[in-house]
Amino acid sequence: MDLMLSGKNILVTGAAKGVGRGIAFALANEGANVALHYQTSEAEAAETARLIEKAGVKVVVVKGDLASFEDVQNMRTRINRDLGTLDAIVNNAGYAQFKSFFQYLPGEWQREIDVCLNGVLHLAHAFVPDMIANNRGKFINIVGDSARTGDRNLIVSAAARSGAISFLKSLAQDVGKNDIQCNTVSLGLIDQGQNFNEATLAKIIKQYPLRRLGKVDDLTGCILFLLSSSSDWITGQVLSVNGGHSMVD
Amino acid sequence: MAERIAFVTGAGSGIGREISKLLASRSMKIVVADINTNHAEETVSMVKEAGGDAVAVYCDVTSLESVQNAVKESVAIFGRIDVLVNNAGWDKVEPFLKSEPDTWKRIVDINLMGQIHTCKEILPVMIENGYGKVVNIASDAARVGSSGEAVYSAAKGGVVALTKTLAREMARHKININCVAPGPSDTPLFQEIGSYNEGIKNALEKAIPFRRLAQPEDIAGAVAYFTSEEAKYVTGQTLSVSGGLTMV
């Protein structure tokens, strides 16, 4: 099935490894050119780029801190010069601390809000005007299900990402007339080699009706669908890929 | 990949027809289940003209016995059912206080009981074969309410809740069950509603961020995604396909 992504320019953030790398591979396999963003994992980003280029697509590696609007503007300059304007963004980058709220020192939460919420604002402000000018575009933001259901140990990142969900709904209303779709994919726990011990893993899996953790492939299918023309009538929505862990109305 | 068999209700027209055509284009054989066999045969012809395979089967979803017969007939022809799309639906738009019990019964029988009937008959077939995908067509009315659609939105709300519970019960059999919630769509049903609700189309187009009604093929894409292997970790979810009319 041709998803018609061949030749499209797509930015994937946090794409050096893990989920982001899997998404970048999946896009390259569909013939899309990839703007591959990383912040600190330089060696892994270079390796991912090397592997993707084998698919015969263009790759531009861009470094930046999404919390900095200046960095994101520089990313845009570089991408527009070397790849052209973007057709789509998949924002996978995030930052979370795993602890309860009262273990935070005041202000220690700022970085989570800067990356998970302000990072989305920065990407939208820098890149969506090009999409408006082109009268087409797709913006996909990836969050954890904690953003929909709450999680006492992800209390700040969940709040920031919930804010990002709301932001994308409002943005979707604003840019619908320009044929730009803005959607959120919400994840359950994805197996990225965390090496849980057996007892912990058993306890976690019990909470998943499909009785396993997610795989990177489980996620890429949903991303490809939301980037394809099959989803052109879907905007402002949140879709969970979570093995049935939560079923939010 | 094994060739899959899809049972699509209300497949003789509108959204069900487009779903049938799209799934057939993705190598599925289609049971075009409909209460109107002439319409069902038209869909079958369209699928076959495009190089696919389909059969028309009479199915009145409001009758468990009719569903039983349709399922038996389908299994006799194709050997099994891998995919169920509960698309058959109907509504009469009017203020709740003006609506009558006969209308309520018809709405609940078609929209909610119909899906209960097909699940009751087809899930065991899927369990036996060790494979299954169910996509239930709900409605944005179920998620946010809709004036003039009180009983319809209640029935569709029932569909959303039925989906979640069946998703939990069927997860052990690796059967995925999800909902697609269309917004207002340009279908024969909508034309019927428009015939006694002047101005409804213009008003909706103003309210939808994409500034148009859904075409049936807009909905079919989401259904095809849920029936695909790409969605095997997705279950119990509801996805609105509404041009941004509602964002829950």
Instruction: Kindly list the residues from chain B whose CB atom is less than 8 angstroms away from the CB atom of residue A188.
Output: 233
Would you state the pLDDT for residue A194? 86
Kindly tell me if the per-residue pLDDT of A249 is higher than 80.
no
Q: B215 to chain A: nearest residue by CA?
A: A233
Is residue A239 helix, strand or coil? strand
Q: Which chain A residues have a beta carbon less than 8 Å from that of B164?
A: 247
Of the residues A180, A234, A241, the best mutation for testing chain B's interface (the one with the most B CB atoms within 10 Å of its CB) is A234
Which pLDDT score is estimated for B198? 84
Q: Which of B168, B214, B221 sits opposite A231 (nearest CB)?
A: B221
pLDDT, tens digit, 9 for 90 and up, residues A113-151: 999 999 999 999 999 999 999 999 999 999 999 999 999
Identify the three-state secondary structure at position A104: coil
- Distance CA(B176)–CA(A243), nearest Å, equals 9
pLDDT for res A2? 85
* Residue among A222, A228, A236 minimizing CB distance to B231: A222
Instruction: Give contacts of A 200-219 with B, CB under 8 A.
Output: 209-211, 214-215, 218-219
What share of chain A in percent tops pLDDT 90?
Answer: 96
Per-residue pLDDT of A5-36, as tens digits, reads 999 999 999 999 999 999 999 999 999 999 99
Cβ atoms A233, B210 nearer than 8 A? yes
**C-alpha to C-alpha distance for B69 and A228, rounded to whole angstroms:** 38
* Residue B125 Cα to chain centre, angstroms: 19
Residues 168-207 of B with CB under 8 A from A: 168, 171-172, 174
Confidence of residue B78 (pLDDT cuts 50, 70, 90): very high
Nearest residue of chain A to residue B163 (CA atoms): A247
Q: What integer pLDDT is reported at residue A193 of this predicted model?
A: 85
For residues A242, A244, A247 and B2, what is the CA-based torsion angle, rounded to 10 degrees? Answer: 90
Distance from CA of B244 to the nearest CA of A (A): 5
Contact residues on chain A for B214, CB-CB shorter than 8 A: 233
Number of A to B CB contacts under 8 A, please give it. 119
Q: What is the pLDDT of residue A195?
A: 87
Q: Tell me which chain B residue has its CA closest to the CA of residue A246.
A: B236
B243 has a chain A CB within 8 A of its CB: yes
**Residue in chain A nearest B248 by alpha carbon:** A237
CB nearest A233 (choices: B214, B230, B236): B214
Both structure tokens of B166: 């069946």
**Closest CB to B238 among A169, A234, A249:** A249
Domain edges within chain A: 9-241
**How far, in Å, CA of B221 to CA of B243, rounded?**
13
Could you tell me which of A7, A27, A23, A26 has the C-alpha nearest to residue A15? A23
**Least CB–CB distance from A249: residue in B232, B233, B248:** B248
Instruction: Please list every residue in chain B whose beta carbon sits closer than 8 Å to the beta carbon of residue A218.
Output: 232-234
8 A C-beta contact, residue B150 and residue B93: no
Query: What residues in A contact B231, CB-CB < 8 Å?
Result: 221-222, 225, 241
Instruction: Give chain B's mean pLDDT.
Output: 96
What residues in A contact B242, CB-CB < 8 Å? 233-234
Asked if B222 lies within 8 A of A228 by C-beta distance, the reply is no
Distance CA B149, CA B152 (A): 5
- CATH of the domain spanning A9-241: 3.40.50.720
Length of chain B equals 248
Cβ–Cβ below 8 Å for A230 and B234: no
- The domain made up of B4-187+216-240 has a fold known as Rossmann fold (3.40.50)
Reply yes or no on whether the pLDDT at B1 is more than 70: no
Terminal CA-CA length for chain B: 36
Q: Does residue B131 carry a catalytic annotation?
A: no
Is residue B218 within 8 angstroms of chain A, CB to CB?
yes
B219: pLDDT strictly greater than 70: yes
* Tens-place pLDDT, residues B149-160: 999 999 999 999
Radius of gyration of chain B (CA): 17
Residue-wise pLDDT for A63-110, tens only, equals 999 999 999 999 999 999 999 999 999 999 999 999 999 999 999 999
CA–CA min distance A240, chain B (Å): 7
Check CB contact under 8 Å for A233 and B211.
no
Whole-angstrom Cα distance, residue B80 to residue B29? Answer: 11
The 3-state DSSP composition of chain A as helix, strand, coil percent (nearest 5) reads: 45, 15, 35
Nearest alpha carbon to residue B180 among B50, B39, B61, B18: B18
Which of the residues B58, B152, B225, B233 is marked catalytic?
A: B152
Q: What is the DSSP letter of B140?
A: H
Cα–Cα–Cα angle for A100, A102, A107, nearest 5°? 105
Contact A236/B at CB under 8 A: yes
Q: Do B209 and A235 touch (CB under 8 A)?
A: yes
Tokens encoding A47: 């390796």
Q: What is the mean pLDDT of chain A?
A: 96
* Tokens found for residue A231: 């989803």
**Which one of A210, A239, A244 has the shortest CB-CB distance to B239?**
A239
C-beta separation of A139 from A180 below 8 A:
yes
Number of H helices and number of E strands within chain A?
9, 7
H/E stretch holding B107 reads helix B101-108
| pLDDT single digits (tens) B39-77 | 999 999 999 999 999 999 999 999 999 999 999 999 999
The whole-angstrom separation of Cα B63 and Cα B113 is: 9
